[in-house]
């Protein structure tokens, strides 16, 4: 049994030697003046899972009695506690940043470097007819359409995966990209008048939320030689193929993308459950989930509150052992519930904070059954890009 004491003016502590030894062994609390002082989530865990008892003076108090003294000043107390509880249940160490000595002048995370290739541009003589309300354009010159499709995988030639039909259909992104960078001429199908790429672009921006940010990301990857197609079937904005990919078959099988890309504008806020669902869909079809938060500037970043640093396991002489506060911290740990909202600015700020501390960011999401799902976010470097991208992976600690 671990006996702890609570005084609303002082805090929570353990002073009995047997209890202190057990807490030291498991890296709970902070020791000073002969006592081990505990944070509320540590104390609640001890009561619930370590045969602990808590006394307020001479009166024994339970989980809710103790928690209620902190809930008003820590309104997300139960979410925080549940995240702490799950990590501890896995035999791993998690601490508040204020309770450990963090490395001085840590090396920022460099990120994973992706390949980049300069796109070679061709002359496009036939006009593309733009259908404003449908937001598609059509090139009916078969030879030009075939070359754009086979060489760049731009548009859809004929019927998707049926190899029949001679029209090349271009979506909004492809139409603007070809008009802007390849000099393709565009004609308004409604009026018969020529259009500049900016007219097409601004027309769609007026009709579709965040079309500008989506196009900027699309253009960024296309100019680096990547093939970028719709990610609709996979719950994301785009699917990505690395430079050199083509729409043909390989060994009688259609080529499949290995990455999907989701654009998260900085002004947008999503339910955590909606955001996580897109990640899970991608992982369910064995695709890497990439995240973009475009248009962030220095003044956009905020000091988003996070409290936890977490450790995992390391291999020593062939055996896996848990890391402790004596090791380099591995993760900046952010806790959410599935009912909360997260915005692009908040997520970008968390990612930058983790990067500057030399850590990866881990998101802990509590669902309505108090189960926890974890996602790790790692920076991706796309050479020549002004944007920042991240890979997001589901993780089982």
What global pTM score does this model have? 0.87
Residue 42's pLDDT band (cuts 50, 70, 90): very high
Q: In angstroms, what CA-CA distances link 6 with 9, 12, 73, 219?
A: 9, 5, 16, 59
Choosing from 20, 95, 266, 287, the catalytic residue is 287
pLDDT in tens, 292-331: 999 899 999 999 989 999 999 999 989 999 999 999 999 9
Whether 256 is catalytic is yes
d(CA 312, CA 324): 8
Classify 63 as helix, strand or coil.
Answer: helix
DSSP category for residue 370: S
Token pair recorded at residue 35: 């006592």
What pairing do the DSSP bridges indicate for beta strands 372-381 and 389-395? antiparallel
Which residue is catalytic, options 112, 117, 125, 256? 256
DSSP 328: P
Fold of 2-74: MutS, DNA mismatch repair protein, domain I (3.40.1170)
Structure-block tokens of residue 389: 């991208």
Using alpha carbons, list the distances in angstroms from residue 202 to 83, 183, 207. 45, 18, 9
Residue 7's closest CA among 48, 62, 66? Answer: 66
Residue 254 pLDDT greater than 60, yes or no: no
Alpha helices in 127-210 (DSSP H): 142-152, 172-181, 197-207
> Is 259:290 a contact under the CB 8 Å cutoff?
yes
Q: Which is more confident, 285 or 337? A: 337
Contact between residue 329 and residue 361 where contact means Cβ atoms under 8 Å apart: no
Please report which helix (H) or strand (E) contains residue 371, including its range. Answer: none
Asked: is 76-116+226-397 a CATH 3.40.1350.10 domain? The reply is: yes
CATH 3.40.1350.10-classified regions of the chain? 76-116+226-397
Indicate where the chain has its CATH 3.40.1170.20 domain(s): 2-74, 118-223
Would residue 246 be called left, alpha or beta, if left means φ above 0 and alpha means ψ between -120 and 50 degrees?
beta
Q: Which of 45, 81, 241, 389 is catalytic?
A: 241
Give the whole-angstrom CA distance, residue 30 versus residue 37.
5
Token couple for 159: 């019927």
The correct CATH number of 118-223 out of 3.20.20.60, 3.40.1170.20, 3.40.250.10, 3.30.1490.20 is 3.40.1170.20
Neighbouring C-alpha atoms within 13 Å toward the C-beta of 375: 26
Note the Cα 296 to chain centre separation in Å: 15
Mean pLDDT value of segment 117-140: 95
Least confident interval from 56-60, 239-243, 253-257, 371-375: 253-257
């Amino acid at each position: 049994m671990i006996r702890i004491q609570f005084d609303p003016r002082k805090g929570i502590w353990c002073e009995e030697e047997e209890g202190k030894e057990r807490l030291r062994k498991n890296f709970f609390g902070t020791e000073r003046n002969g006592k081990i002082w505990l944070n509320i989530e540590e104390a609640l865990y001890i009561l619930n899972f370590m045969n602990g008892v808590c006394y307020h003076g001479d009166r024994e108090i339970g989980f809710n009695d103790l928690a209620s003294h902190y809930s008003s000043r820590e309104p997300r107390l139960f979410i925080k506690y549940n995240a702490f509880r799950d990590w501890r249940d896995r035999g791993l160490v998690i601490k508040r940043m204020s309770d450990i000595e963090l490395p001085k002048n840590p090396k920022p995370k460099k990120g994973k470097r992706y390949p980049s290739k300069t796109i070679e541009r061709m002359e496009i003589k036939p006009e593309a007819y733009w259908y404003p309300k449908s937001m598609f354009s059509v090139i009916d010159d078969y030879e030009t359409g075939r070359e754009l499709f086979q060489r760049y995988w731009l548009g859809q030639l004929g019927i998707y995966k049926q190899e029949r039909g001679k029209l090349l259909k271009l979506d909004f992104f492809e139409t603007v990209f070809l008009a802007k960078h390849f000099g393709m001429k565009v004609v308004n199908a409604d009026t018969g008048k020529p259009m500049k790429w900016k007219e097409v672009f601004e027309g769609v921006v007026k009709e579709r939320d965040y079309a500008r940010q989506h196009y900027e990301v699309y253009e960024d990857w296309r100019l680096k030689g990547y093939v970028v197609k719709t990610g609709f079937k996979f719950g994301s904005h785009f699917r990505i193929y690395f430079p050199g990919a083509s729409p043909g078959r390989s060994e009688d099988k259609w080529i499949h993308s290995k990455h999907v890309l989701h654009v998260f504008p900085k002004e947008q806020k999503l339910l955590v459950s909606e955001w996580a669902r897109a990640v899970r869909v991608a992982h369910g079809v064995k695709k890497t989930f990439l995240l973009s938060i475009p248009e962030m500037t220095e003044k956009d970043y905020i000091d988003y509150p996070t409290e936890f640093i977490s450790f995992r396991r390391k291999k020593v002489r062939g055996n896996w052992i848990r890391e402790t506060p004596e090791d380099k911290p591995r993760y900046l740990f952010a806790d959410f519930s599935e009912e909360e909202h997260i915005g692009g600015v908040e997520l970008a700020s968390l990612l930058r904070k983790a990067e500057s501390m030399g850590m990866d960011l881990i998101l802990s999401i509590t669902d309505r059954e108090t189960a926890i799902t974890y996602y790790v976010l790692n920076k991706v470097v796309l050479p020549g890009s002004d944007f920042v991208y991240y890979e997001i992976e589901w993780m089982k600690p």
